[in-house]
């Protein structure tokens, strides 16, 4: 399940800008290329997962609102990169999102409702006990 949708993107930029960023077939651009949007969302979500995987089970379900917003921001930025357009405002938002994801990776930010990975330090080691073996190589000799 993707972390954001086309509707989430439309909350950040208008349809005209989405058309401009995605339609490479028509001149002038006239339609939103949903395949290009899906690819940009996948790229953004993979970027988020690469940061969050050290602390949380990914992909996240349910998706926290803050992650949905971050995914939409990164998607819009990646669409700007695709068209070789890099307005400063989106570069700044990308940097902000990346800084926030670094905090997620370092455990400085907690994501409510997302299952955390166990601490790999060894404190959460599971131990198992069992009765002695009834059948072994020695007890089964001669059968």
Residue 129 maps to a domain: no
* Percentage of residues of the chain with pLDDT beyond 90: 42
**Percent of the chain whose predicted confidence (pLDDT) is above 70:** 87
Per-residue pLDDT tens digits for 27-78: 888 999 999 999 999 999 999 998 898 888 999 999 999 999 999 999 999 9
Contacts of 21 (CB under 8 A, 6+ apart): 13, 36, 76, 79, 80, 82, 83, 85
State which residues form the domain around 59. 6-106
Identify whether 121 is part of a domain: no
Do the domain assignments include residue 81? Answer: yes
Asked if the structure places residue 56 within a domain, the reply is yes
Does position 99 have pLDDT exceeding 80, yes or no?
Answer: yes
pLDDT band at 114 (very low <50, low <70, confident <90, very high): confident
Assigned domain for 122 exists: no
**What's the rounded Cα separation, in Å, for the pair 74 and 46?**
11
**100 domain-assigned:** yes
Establish if 131 belongs to a structural domain: no
Give the pLDDT score at 121: 58
State yes or no: pLDDT of 118 exceeds 60. Answer: no
Domain membership of residue 135 (yes or no) is no
Cα of first residue to Cα of last residue in the chain, in angstroms, is: 55
Number of domains in the chain: 1
């Amino acid at each position: 399940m993707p972390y954001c949708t086309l509707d989430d993107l439309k909350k950040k930029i208008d349809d005209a800008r989405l058309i401009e960023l995605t339609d490479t077939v028509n001149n002038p651009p006239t339609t939103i290329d949903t395949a290009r949007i899906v690819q940009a969302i996948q790229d953004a979500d993979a970027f988020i997962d690469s940061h969050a995987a050290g602390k949380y089970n990914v992909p996240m379900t349910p998706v926290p609102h803050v992650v949905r917003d971050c995914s939409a921001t990164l998607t819009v930025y990646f669409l700007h990169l695709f068209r070789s357009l890099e307005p400063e405002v989106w570069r700044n938002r990308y940097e902000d999102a990346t800084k926030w994801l670094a905090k997620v990776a370092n455990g400085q930010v907690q994501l409510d409702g997302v299952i955390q990975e166990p601490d790999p330090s060894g404190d959460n080691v599971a131990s198992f006990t069992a009765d002695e073996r009834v059948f072994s190589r020695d007890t089964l000799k001669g059968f």
